[in-house]
Amino acid sequence: MTPPPLQAFLRPAASGGQRLYLHHTPPAGVPTLGALLYLPPWAEEMNKSRRMAALAARSFASAGWAVLQIDLLGCGDSSGDFADATWDAWLDDACEAAQWLVQQHPGVPLWLWGLRAGTLLSAATGARLPFEANHLLWQPATRGQTVLQQFLRIKAAADMASGQSKTAMAALRARIEAGQPVEVAGYTLSPGLLAGLQAATLDPPRSGPAPVEHRQRMLWLEVATQPAGEPGPAARTALAAWSHAGWCSAWHAVQGSPFWQTVEIEEAPALIDLSLQLLPEERNNARCGGPA
């Protein structure tokens, strides 16, 4: 199969420097069903997920979805170092990318496609945009504070293994509370990134009252080696909040490898296949709510 068209270019950002855009478009003759903006996880999870994101973007484009991947400030081939990144700057990047994508593909639904911590950025971006956006959430994180704690344990574990300190986590938290940067696994986390991530939650952007056929969509997709048959407590709480806020939300799970955290680069093709199956269904209001 001929790969779908791809444009790679640097675009000036309002917060300074340039951001790398990868714009996948459907092949000639294939109608555009919608547009997807990919918001990646952070730090090493972002690197572990690059192959899956690329495979998914190509698959989505081949099926008729325009896809934009962006390297946020301090990531990949965009301007700056990771130490320059702040949560607000990433949010600005995401909003600019969404507006650019809508301008390129007017008249089709926009989906914010987040993975792990990128789902927190997706929710915050959707709340800021002046137009409607649906959400495709892969392995969502419900609280940025939990994401940060998991990441800080890497540093604490390394310090304890080397016999440096059994109070490593407390020392890290003290630096954060003092507004100082911290370095973990080669990543320098700025106070602006730490504070923003700690405050981030998967809260639904407000969706006005509307009949089901016109409600905005949220798809929550999980992958596991042995997927559960129903959402866990955190997912149930979040899904209820989105539904209460006026969203048409649905949860699904597939079997696969947790590619964002495996030692070797892994794939979860079932996650891509399910997304391809559900996106058109949700667009046509064929399904709304509940587990698969």
Residue spans per domain, the chain: 6-143+207-283, 144-199
Entry pTM? 0.91
CATH code 3.40.50.1820 for 6-143+207-283: yes
Rounded-to-integer distance, Cα 64 and Cα 66, Å:
7
Q: What confidence score (pLDDT) does residue 207 get?
A: 57
And the tokens for 286?
């064929």
User: pLDDT means per 10 residues in the chain (292 residues)?
Assistant: 87 95 96 97 94 97 98 96 96 98 97 98 96 96 93 71 64 83 89 94 74 74 87 94 93 94 93 95 49 44
Rounded-to-integer distance, Cα 22 and Cα 1, Å:
20
Rounded-to-integer distance, Cα 97 and Cα 94, Å:
5
Cα separation values, 2 from 6, 58, 62, 89, 143, Å: 12, 10, 9, 36, 40
Q: What confidence score (pLDDT) does residue 92 get?
A: 97
